[in-house]
Structure 1
Amino acid sequence: MNNEGPAAHDGLHLIPFRGLRYVPERVGSLAAVTSPPYDVVVRPDGLHHLESADPHNIVRLILPQAALPEDRHRQAAETLSRWLAEGVMAADPEPALYVYEQRKGDLLQRGVIGALALSEPSDGVVLPHEDVMPEVVADRAALMRSTAANLEPLLLAYRSGGELSGTGAVIERTSLCPPVLATTTEDGFSHRLWSVTDPAELGEIRLDLSSHQALIADGHHRWATYLRLRAEHTTSPGPWDYGLVLLVDTARYPLQVRAIHRLLRRLPVADALAALDGSFRVRGLDVSLQQALDALAEAAAEGNAFLLAGDGRFHLVDRPDPELLADTVPGGRPAAWRTLDATVLHATMLDRLWRIPDTPEHITYIHDSLAAVTQAERDGGTAVLMHPVREDVVRDLAREGVTMPRKSTSFGPKPATGLVLRSLDLD
């Protein structure tokens, strides 16, 4: 661990670490042991699929299965210890930063993975933009305590001037060398990882990033978890003062912004529509999912719009009653926040018209639109499909210190989980 404390830096402070990585000879394939981030795995289908892909799939660490939470966390810790003892995973011989590349067709994203010094939102270095669910933070914290590991990196977005220098120059030079691992996952993305250990290049990255701030693109709950665990460990500087992140320069590699959809588990579509009568315009659409999403995008360009599904067809919901919005949406916040679809959904529809609490037994957050519709039809609930928010809106609100409703955005492509882990015991 670098002994220089994070408080001495005004910008991003990224340090190398000894990455834990799968030993290729001990697993079926690197692709078979990877997973999407824990909150993207669609349960239970996706979980079972990943568990059966390889007995050492990383999902056994990030989403361990047991009846009680404490049993799940203990099981993950025991599994990680066993894999290390058996040589399924091993630590790299020296600390490194890791250049990471994802590619699919014309889409190319490169960034750098390292241990980032933790900072508070008030510091203006790392900017959150969404609220978090306390129960999720508590669960992730218990898992990290048990395993003493950062099992998957956050995705952070920063913006350079677009010139090829500093971190960007190191990334591009490194990408011309043979990677330490390369694989293609079943979603069609190819992944390559390089280890950067040269002191001059590490110094180039450190100096460059020290003048930047970053937006949390994906991983608000993990960031909140990092902060909670740092507060529990008072010896500083130490390994709990840092957290595993992937930093992407969106001036060179723009992120895609997608919506996160809601599955209202106990609300049938008919009841949902009845409660909206007179407060929103509702139109039935007997079209394909893609055509319905296109109609949603067109309506969202004019104002708040949502797509309801679960009864075998789609229902486009838009044009909310202005008086209802004025009565339900909290004041005292920027207009950009008050007019967000997620704000209207939670303040007006969920809280007032549907009276549904934002708890896991009532609402499931799903990234994939087809999965949301499928589960709603299977369970007799209602899928609420959302239109994505623009990145500039998210960044502007974050800079104002305004947080969006939880699960308002999904930035990507997200890093695959399982390519490199960080052990806090090694740091």
Structure 2
Amino acid sequence: MNSAGPGKSGLDLVPFRGVRYVPERVGSLAAVTSPPYDVVVRPDGLLHLESADPHNIVRVILPQGESAELRHRHAADTLRGWLAEGVLAADGTPALYVYEQRRGDLLQRGVIGALRLSEPSEGVVLPHEDVIQDVVADRADLMRATAANLEPLLLTYRGDEPGAEEVPAAGTAAVVESVAATPPLLATVTEDGFAHRLWAVRDPEDIAEVRADLSHRQALIADGHHRWATYLRLREGRPSPSPWDYGLVLLVDTVRHPLRVRAIHRLLRGLPVGRALRLLGDTFRVREVPGPLAEAERALAGAAAGGNAFLLAGDGRFHLVDRPAPALLARTVPSDRPPAWRSLDATVLHSALIAEVWSLPDSSERIAYLHEADAAVEQAVRTDSTAVLMHPVAESVVRDLAGAGVRMPRKSTSFGPKPATGLVLRDLDL
């Protein structure tokens, strides 16, 4: 996934005036950051972030209120109030930003900028998952109210393979390495143990080199499908050129910084584990496997190597569900899709189990998506519901499907590490 398709332009990344917290006006930079909005575990994680600092960005990306309209208005008022008070301030000149995340041996660096929007048919930015339209509508209303890109999408691209040691890096890689050797604009360590650093790239030659290098490349949406769909929706019906032609992104070269691919788990509210197991009948093989969670996940990984497999939890035990009946799959999984799509765990889960065996409505009231397995299990136990723990999809499968124009079921993958929210925002009124 290196070059854009024949006759297609590549990535068009431009500088912008980043909006950042003024360190002297907040307790600490770590205390005002947040994970991306869809990773925050609610309600516990939301309350924890809100109490960390009165200016935590979660108050803008996940505002509270009795109605959607009130929530979005509250977010806009909060953001504008912080700007007026000097808690947030815009950088004086436009820039691209080099962003680094480090924890132990893991190092990820990328470039944050405003990316010109493109449709999937253009072959420049490739989505790999479907989206939930209600979520897109809600995020669009929030972004419209705040007139801001509040958190960058995570996009990946394939840069050039590194040469021999004596051959210096070129293009974007060279700029990133050079800038990262200088003092950063900001540095902080968040409670998950990640160290974050941010630099501004304002030198016209550096910016030109990055833009030229990216101009013949295409990218995969690793995280942020709903925000990308929101960008496209908000661009519709607006005169061009305008700030709405662009969206805030973090671009990571996975040749140099391979991302981790993790699963996104499901919490099936109102479906106790006992009932879920009874309804399975003989459609799947069911076995109880020993805990703790890490041990049960190893059993899941072993079963997933041979086909579709899931872990059900929520009753204090772990139940391995695998070997679906061929007749069930033939009856429930759409036959007009590629074999690789039809065999995905997320496809089988939603088509065969959730829709057919368990007869659950596909709604946010009944199905929640959680990135951490322990949080899914804890919430299932607390609410007498069923946690369905998933095994990660291989990155090669994701790229192959995206390259073929095939969308995976929504919330099939979680690429990471994800950028922290709150380190740099994009104000469209600027």
Shorter-normalised TM range: over 0.9
Secondary structure of the structure 1 residue equivalent to 2:421: coil
Of the candidates 326, 330, 346, which is equivalent to residue 330 of structure 2? 326
Deviation at 1:123, TM superposition (A): 0.4
Following superposition of structure 1 onto structure 2, how do residues 1-16 of structure 1 map, counting pairs within 5 Å? 10-16=9-15
Following superposition of structure 1 onto structure 2, how do residues 11-26 of structure 1 map, counting pairs within 5 Å? 11-26=10-25
Tell me if the contact between 1:9 and 1:210 (Cα under 8 Å) persists in the aligned partners: no
Q: Does 1:270 align with 2:269?
A: no
- AA of the residue aligned to 1:348: A
Of the candidates 394, 419, 422, which is equivalent to residue 423 of structure 2? 419
Aligned to 1:168: 173
| The 10-residue stretch of structure 1 (20-29 or 332-341) with the greater mean CA deviation from structure 2 | 332-341
Of the candidates 198, 207, 210, which is equivalent to residue 202 of structure 1? 207
Of the candidates 292, 301, 304, which is equivalent to residue 305 of structure 2? 301
Deviation at 1:250, TM superposition (A): 0.4
Of the candidates 161, 170, 193, which is equivalent to residue 198 of structure 2? 193
- AA of the residue aligned to 1:190: A
Between the aligned partners of 1:165 and 1:387, the Cα distance in structure 2 is 37
Tell me if the contact between 2:289 and 2:299 (Cα under 8 Å) persists in the aligned partners: no
Deviation at 1:160, TM superposition (A): 1.2
- Uncovered stretches (5+) of structure 2, i.e. residues with no partner: 1-6, 163-168
Tell me if the contact between 1:264 and 1:381 (Cα under 8 Å) persists in the aligned partners: yes
Tell me if the contact between 2:8 and 2:122 (Cα under 8 Å) persists in the aligned partners: no
- AA of the residue aligned to 1:120: E
Tell me if the contact between 1:158 and 1:249 (Cα under 8 Å) persists in the aligned partners: yes
Tell me the TM-score normalised to structure 1 length: 0.97
Secondary structure of the structure 1 residue equivalent to 2:236: helix
Deviations 1:135-178 (A, max 9, x none): 10011000000000000000001001223210011000000000
Aligned to 1:375: 379
Aligned to 2:44: 45
Aligned to 2:361: 357
Between the aligned partners of 2:328 and 2:65, the Cα distance in structure 1 is 44
After the TM superposition, which segments of 4 or more aligned residues of structure 1 sit over 4 Å from their partners?
Answer: none
Deviation at 1:9, TM superposition (A): 7.0
- AA of the residue aligned to 2:366: H
| The 10-residue stretch of structure 1 (277-286 or 185-194) with the greater mean CA deviation from structure 2 | 277-286
Secondary structure of the structure 2 residue equivalent to 1:232: coil
Aligned to 2:83: 84
Aligned to 1:395: 399
Tell me if the contact between 1:308 and 1:315 (Cα under 8 Å) persists in the aligned partners: yes
Between the aligned partners of 1:351 and 1:188, the Cα distance in structure 2 is 39
| The 10-residue stretch of structure 1 (320-329 or 119-128) with the greater mean CA deviation from structure 2 | 320-329
**RMSD across aligned positions (CA):** 0.9
- AA of the residue aligned to 1:386: M
Between the aligned partners of 1:177 and 1:259, the Cα distance in structure 2 is 36
Secondary structure of the structure 2 residue equivalent to 1:171: helix
Between the aligned partners of 2:255 and 2:264, the Cα distance in structure 1 is 24
Between the aligned partners of 2:24 and 2:362, the Cα distance in structure 1 is 45
Between the aligned partners of 1:9 and 1:273, the Cα distance in structure 2 is 50
Of the candidates 218, 238, 243, which is equivalent to residue 242 of structure 2? 238
Secondary structure of the structure 1 residue equivalent to 2:311: strand
Q: Does 1:223 align with 2:222?
A: no
Between the aligned partners of 1:9 and 1:49, the Cα distance in structure 2 is 46
- Uncovered stretches (5+) of structure 1, i.e. residues with no partner: 1-7
Deviation at 1:15, TM superposition (A): 0.1
Aligned to 1:211: 216
